[in-house]
Amino acid sequence: MRRIAFGTSGWRGILCEDFVFENIRIVTRAIADHVIAEGARDKGIIVGYDTRFMGERFAREAARVLTSTGIKAYICRRDVPTPVIAHEILRRGCAGAINFTASHNPPEYNGIKFSPAWGGPALPETTRDIERRANEMLGESCGRELPINQEVHEGLLEEIDPQDAYLAELAEKVDFATIARLGSVAVNPLFGTGRGYLEGPLMLQNMKVKVINAHRDPYFGGFPPEPNEKYMADFIDIVKGDPSIKLGLATDGDADRFGIVDKDGSFIEPNYIIALLLDYLVRSRKMSGGVARSVATSHLIDAVAAKHGIEVFETPVGFKYIGELISKDKIIIGGEESAGLSIKGHVPEKDGILACFLVAEMVAREGMPVRKLLERLYDQVGRYVTKRENLTLSPDLEEAFPGKMVATPETFAGSKVKEMITIDGNKFLLEDGSWLLFRKSGTEPVVRLYGEAATEERLEALMEAGREFILG
C-alpha cells in the first residue's frame, strides 16, 4: 500500500485508489494522536470539506474517529472555504482543523489538509510527525477498521456554520461601501465553496452581480477548479461582452486562490495583483511592515517594496511559510504566484475571497481598471513580465537532473549569472535583472520552470535557454 505523504498543502490522492475510507481513518487518527501528544485534546478540532465527491461522508467519518479518542469535533454544516476554516480555528481557540479538499486539483482528487492551532497550513515538523504516525498504522491496518469507542463518541460532535462570523470580520477589513461604486461585477466560484461568500456581501450593497458556476458540481464543469485563463473562457467572455461589468472575480475549489478578470476581459496574473495590492495597502491604508513572497513569485513585489522602503522576505514555495510571518505580524501582505495571498491582521492562510474584495476595493477607489493601474505602477518601478512552464522529463533526463543542479552555469541567454538561490529549487539571478528558477516536482517527472524579465521578448529567450538547459 502506498505511503502517506504530505505535500505543500496536505495529503492528496485519487479517489478509490489511495484516497479511501481506510486511509482517511488512519490519517485522521494520526492527526488525533499528534494533537493529544501536544496536550491539546480538550480544545477540539474543526472538520470541513469542499464540494468534491463524498465530502460529507469523509468528514463524518473523520469526526467519528476524532470523537472516539475524546477530541470534540466541530463539523461544518456545508462545504466551507479553507480561509473560513482558518478563521474559525482562531475564533474558537481550537487545536486545529481537518479539511477535506484538493483545492484546485482535478475532480478525481481529494485530500486532507491539517491546519494547527495557529490557523495556517501545518509546518514541516508537524506533517512529518503525522506522516510517521500514519505510516506506522498503515503497515498494521491491512484492511481492518480502526476501533471506535462509541461510548466516548457520544456527546462530542457539534455541527457548526462559520459563515456569518467570517463575513462579519471580513466587513471590518474590506470597504464594501467603496466597492459599491463599481455598480456591476461578475462572480465565478467555479462550482466550489466560494458560492455565497463572494456574491452575498456584494448583493447586500445593492450591486448588480452576474454570477455563474454557483451550484455544487463535483465535476467542476469538466475542468480543474483553478481560476486561471485556461479554465475560465466562459467567464472571460461574459466580462468582455458586457460593458456594464467593471471587474470579474473568481475563486478556486476551496476559495483559497483568486482569479481576476479586468473589465476588457484581460486575465491579470496573480504576480501582478500581489504587487498592486502591496502598493495600494501602503498608500491608502498606511499599513506598515514587510512583504513576503515565495521564491517563485515576481520581483515586481521587490520593486514596490523598494519604492516604499520596506523589507522583503523570500520564502520556499508553500503558503505555510508566508502564513507564519503573518501570524507573527511581520508583513503587510504575503503572496505566491499560484494565486494565494493574505494580509496583516487576517488569517495566516491563503484567502481568495479577501483577495477578490481587496482588488474590487482598489479598482473602485483608484477609479481605473486593473490594467491601467498596472501600467501606472510600471511607470513608477519598471516593467516585469513573468512566466511558468512544466517540463516533462524522460527517465534519462530525470536521472540527469540532480547533476545539472550541482554546478552554476556562467550564463543564460547571454546574461551572466550573478547569484544562485537554493531555498527551494535552483534560482539563478542574472546581471540584467532577469531570473530563472528550476523546481523539481516531488510526485511526478516534471521540472517547473519559472522566469522573469523586463520584456516579453527577453522572457521568451530566457525561457528557451531554461528549456535547453533541462531538456537539451
pLDDT tens for residues 33-89? 999 999 999 999 999 999 999 999 999 999 999 999 999 999 999 999 999 999 999
Ramachandran assignment for 206, one of left (phi > 0), alpha (psi -120 to 50 degrees), beta (any other): left
Q: Is 446 helix (H, G, I), strand (E, B) or coil?
A: strand
Lay out the sheet containing 184-188: strands in order across: 208-211, 184-188, 247-251, 258-262, 267-268
Q: Are residues 143 and 180 in the same domain?
A: no
CB–CB of 193/50 below 8 Å? yes
Task: Verify that 366 and 397 share a domain, yes or no.
Answer: no
* Residues 291 and 182 both lie in one domain: yes
Does one domain contain both 350 and 402? Answer: no
pLDDT in tens, 434-472: 999 999 987 689 999 999 999 999 999 999 999 999 998
β 415-421/426-430 pair status = antiparallel
Whole-number percent of the chain with pLDDT over 70: 96
Statement to judge: residues 329 and 231 lie in one domain: yes
Domain shared by 213 and 149, yes or no: no
Is the residue at 6 inside a domain?
no
Sequence-distant (≥ 6) Cβ neighbours of residue 239 within 8 angstroms: 186, 245, 247, 248, 261, 262, 263, 265
User: Residue 278 and residue 291: Cα distance in Å, rounded?
Assistant: 8
Global confidence as pTM: 0.94
**Residue 280 belongs to a domain with what CATH number?**
3.40.120.10
CATH assignment of the domain containing 461? 3.30.310.50
Task: Map residue 65 onto helix, strand or coil.
Answer: helix
Asked if the structure places residue 283 within a domain, the reply is yes
The total of structural domains in the chain comes to 3
Domain coverage including residue 49: 11-162
Q: Which of 335, 361, 381 is the last residue of a domain?
A: 381
Mean pLDDT of 372-381: 98
| Confidence at 261, pLDDT banded by 50, 70, 90 | very high
Is 169 inside any structural domain? no
Picking from 381, 397, 419, the residue at the C-terminal end of a domain is 381
Q: Does the pLDDT of residue 230 top 60, yes or no?
A: yes
